[in-house]
Amino acid sequence: MQEILHLVYAMSPYLLLGFLMAGLMHAFVPGRLYRRYLSRPGFRSVLHLPLSACGVIPTAMSVRRDGASRGSVVSFLTATPQTGVDSIAATASLMGWPFALLRPVAALCTALLGGWLTDRLLPETEASASPSAPGTSGCCSDEGCSCHSEERPLSFRQKCVEALRYAFVDMMQDIGKWLVVGLVVAGVITLCVPDSFFAHFAGHPLLSILFVLLFSIPMYLCATGSIPIAVALMLKGLTPGAALVLLMAGPASNAAAILVIRQVMGARTQWLYLVSIVTGAIGFALLTDYLLPASWFALPLLASPAADCCHPSTPGTDYLGLRSTLLLALLLLHAFGRARWEARRTAPAAATVRPHVHRYHVTGMECHHCRNHVEQAIRSIAGVTQVTVTLSDGQALVEGLYDEEQLLQAVRQLGFGIEALAE
């Protein structure tokens, strides 16, 4: 288990820095910038700024509802989970800068391919590409409405507080469990997979690439949580190209994203999305294994013995990793404790709902982005006066006189399931 301890030790400083950068982007880069950029039709719409991986599905469905093309949404879903600043920083710490730079380049090129193919083969009609009209079940086009309440102006101090809250509270709650899962899986691989396992694929990198692709596509692998798994497999002999497939296909092609794309944009868009991811992953994996120098992808973990991970000798470097690991552990404990506290706090409120407040059960919410998008969709319905959505139990409490069918449709357009609960 020394390798796993060294993974955590080496990753913690970069992971904390990545979380902080994601928080700063969230607080200081206006959300309307992404919406405006993604709504441009044509080839330029597939070039976009990277966002945090959390909430990529509801965000993509939201910009689709605002008028973004199918190609923009496919590009967004392909690139965003792989280009978060936290995952890039963690990739650099554990797998080296060549891997960290190749990963977003491969993701963006694959996103360009998927977006271009989708816009080329499935052109938008004027009706399907136009934003929903105000007052309908979709999001209105007026940026001053309640749908865009997240754009309210904040002072510089408030933005700094929001950046820290988002980075070290919300993201810890959203990504923390997947990071822990990734580390546990890496530990299981280290203990249970024999060192000679991938010797069967020696001389045939394409076979190992296809093997990894086979189980990566349906699984949900967080972009950050997939890194320790890829490192553990490389320590067992997996080629760098096959490890890149895991890093690309795992976060981008999980079953939830596939089902939502099929439900909202149709089966043909779903297949183009999968074809672009598979093509890009295999292409860049073969490029990595056959054309790029193998020395570029030597793991830093092998250059620094795992036996030294718990015995820091250079205060300026090693103690930084130790302190970062302790800080990360405290933040994760706080995030998990806060989630349980919020669940206990909201449970009594859900049990004592007033007669004129309607209850709904929402499925598919995984993070705070999901919850926020559901709340915004419900608030956009005419007649809704108050709404509270809890992530822990998936309940939405809605007050007001409104068209229930419009409310259900607005939430389902984001890719979530929703049903009314008995009063």
Tens of pLDDT, residues 359-384: 899 988 877 778 888 988 899 898 89
Residues 222 and 267 in one domain: yes
Residues 361 and 265 in one domain: no
Number of neighbouring beta carbons within 10 Å of residue 55: 22
Quote the pLDDT of residue 273: 92
Residues 170 and 254 in one domain: yes
DSSP structural state of residue 348:
H
Report the alpha-carbon distance of residue 253 to residue 257 in Å, rounded: 6
Distances (CA, A) of 209 to 226, 291, 299: 16, 15, 19
Enumerate helices (H) and strands (E) in the chain, giving the number of each.
18, 4
Quote the pLDDT of residue 275: 93
Strand order in the sheet with 417-420: 384-390, 395-400, 357-363, 417-420
Residues 85 and 170 in one domain: yes
Residues 408 and 277 in one domain: no
Quote the pLDDT of residue 284: 95
Residues 270 and 161 in one domain: yes
CATH assignment at residue 377: 3.30.70.100
Please indicate, yes or no, if residue 347 is contained in any of the structural domains: no
Of 294, 319, 344, the residue that ends a domain is 319
Residues 106 and 185 in one domain: yes
Number of neighbouring beta carbons within 10 Å of residue 162: 17
- Stretches where the chain sits below pLDDT 50 are 41-50, 126-150, 305-317, 351-353
Closest by alpha carbon to 280, among 46, 45, 112?
112
Quote the pLDDT of residue 126: 42
pTM for the model = 0.71
Please indicate, yes or no, if residue 95 is contained in any of the structural domains: yes
Residues 174 and 33 in one domain: yes
Residues 361 and 235 in one domain: no
Number of neighbouring beta carbons within 10 Å of residue 9: 21
Please indicate, yes or no, if residue 201 is contained in any of the structural domains: yes
Please indicate, yes or no, if residue 345 is contained in any of the structural domains: no
Domain residues for 105?
2-319
Residues 368 and 307 in one domain: no
Residues 253 and 371 in one domain: no
Residues 264 and 185 in one domain: yes
